[in-house]
C-alpha cells in the first residue's frame, strides 16, 4: 500500500516543475558585527551575482503569483523562483532599486513593532526599517510587497496559542494600512506549533516556513530555502 503514494509523488514531479521560494535577511557592502549576524548576512556583490545567476535559469515571480501557480497548475515545465526577505532590515534598501531595474518582485516579511524606530530586536544597534522607510519603498518600487512576520521577533515555540493569535492580529491590523499587503505569514525562526497553522487558516493567511524544501504544489504551507 505504501507504494501508491510514492508512485503518485513521482508522477507529480514529472508534470510539475518545483517553484523555489528563497529567503534572505541582510544585504550590505560591509559586514558590521555590531548590527549584523554573520549567519544571515550576504554582501551586496554576492547577492547580485547569485540573483543574476539564478535569473539565467529561473523566471522570478511574486509570492502571490507563485501561490496561484502552486494551487492551480496541472502542468508546469517552466522554472520559477521567488524572492523573500525576513525581519525588515534597513539594509534591504541596498538592493531594492537594483531588483526593480531587473524587474524582480520581492516580498518583505515585517515585524510591525519595530517600525516606530524606537523598539529594537535583540541588539540595540540593529538597524531596521521604519514606517517612513517602508512607505517610501512601497511608493517608489511596485515590485515590492509586504506580509507579516508576527508583531515582534519572538520565537513562536515560546508563546501560547492565545499570544500567537494576538501577535498575528496586531501585525495584520498595522500592515493592512500599507499598500501591497499580501495574505502570507512567515513564522519567526521558521518555528511553529500545529495549532498555529489552524489559527492562520481561520484568518485566511497562508503559512510560510523555512525548511529547505522545494514546492511542487500548495499543501497547506509554502516552503522556503534560506539564501542568507
pLDDT in tens, 54-74: 999 999 999 999 999 999 999
Position 2 scores a pLDDT of: 73
Q: Flag whether pLDDT at 10 surpasses 80.
A: no
Position 12 scores a pLDDT of: 64
Position 118 scores a pLDDT of: 74
* Distance of alpha carbon 205 from alpha carbon 148, whole angstroms: 9
Q: Flag whether pLDDT at 140 surpasses 60.
A: yes
What are the two backbone dihedrals, phi and then psi, of residue 128, each rounded to the nearest 5 degrees? -115, 155
Q: Flag whether pLDDT at 5 surpasses 80.
A: no
Position 7 scores a pLDDT of: 62
* Average pLDDT over every residue of 72-85: 96
Look over the chain and give the mean of its residue pLDDT values, rounded to a whole number: 92
| Domain count of the fold of the chain | 1
Position 125 scores a pLDDT of: 55
In the Cβ-directed half-sphere of 131, how many Cα atoms lie within 13 Å? 12
Position 71 scores a pLDDT of: 97
Determine which of 111-120, 147-156, 184-193, 194-203 has the lowest per-residue pLDDT on average.
111-120
Query: Is residue 193 classed exposed, middle or buried when 0-12, 13-18 and 19+ CB atoms within 10 A define those classes?
Result: middle
Gap between the terminal Cα atoms of the chain: 40
| Cβ-based neighbours of 171, under 8 Å, separated by 6 or more | 110, 111, 112, 148, 149, 150, 151
**Structure pTM?**
0.92
In the DSSP assignment, the letter for residue 94 is G
CATH number at residue 106: 3.20.20.370
Position 39 scores a pLDDT of: 85
* Distance of alpha carbon 53 from alpha carbon 97, whole angstroms: 18
Q: Flag whether pLDDT at 204 surpasses 70.
A: yes
| Cβ-based neighbours of 132, under 8 Å, separated by 6 or more | none
Angle, CA of 209, 130 and 146, to the nearest 5°: 35
**Which residue range is the domain that position 83 belongs to?**
3-226
Position 101 scores a pLDDT of: 97
Residue 86's nearest CA partner among 64, 113, 108, 112 is: 108
More confident residue, 121 or 157: 157
pLDDT in tens, 96-126: 999 999 999 999 999 999 999 876 665 555 6
Amino acid at each position: 500500500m505504501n507504494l501508491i503514494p510514492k508512485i503518485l509523488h513521482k508522477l507529480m514531479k514529472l508534470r510539475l516543475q518545483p517553484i523555489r521560494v528563497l529567503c534572505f535577511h541582510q544585504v550590505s557592502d560591509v559586514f558590521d558585527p555590531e548590527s549584523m549576524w554573520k549567519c544571515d548576512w550576504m554582501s551586496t556583490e554576492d547577492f547580485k551575482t547569485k540573483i543574476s545567476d539564478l535569473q539565467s535559469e529561473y523566471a522570478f515571480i511574486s509570492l502571490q503569483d507563485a501561490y496561484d501557480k502552486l494551487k492551480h497548475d496541472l502542468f508546469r515545465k517552466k522554472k520559477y523562483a521567488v524572492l523573500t526577505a525576513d525581519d525588515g532590515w534597513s539594509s534591504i534598501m541596498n538592493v531594492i532599486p537594483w531588483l526593480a531595474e531587473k524587474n524582480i518582485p520581492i516580498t518583505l516579511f515585517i515585524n510591525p513593532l519595530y517600525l516606530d524606530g524606537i523598539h529594537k530586536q535583540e541588539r540595540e544597534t540593529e538597524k531596521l526599517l521604519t514606517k517612513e522607510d517602508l512607505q517610501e519603498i512601497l511608493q517608489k518600487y511596485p515590485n515590492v510587497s509586504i506580509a507579516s512576520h508576527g508583531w515582534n521577533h519572538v520565537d513562536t515555540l515560546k508563546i501560547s496559542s492565545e499570544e500567537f493569535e494576538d501577535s498575528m492580529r496586531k501585525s495584520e491590523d498595522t500592515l493592512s494600512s500599507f499598500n501591497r499587503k499580501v495574505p502570507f505569514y512567515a513564522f519567526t525562526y521558521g518555528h511553529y506549533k500545529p495549532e498555529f497553522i489552524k489559527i492562520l487558516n481561520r484568518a485566511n493567511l497562508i503559512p510560510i516556513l523555512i525548511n529547505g524544501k522545494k514546492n511542487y504544489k500548495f499543501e497547506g504551507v509554502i516552503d522556503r530555502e534560506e539564501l542568507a
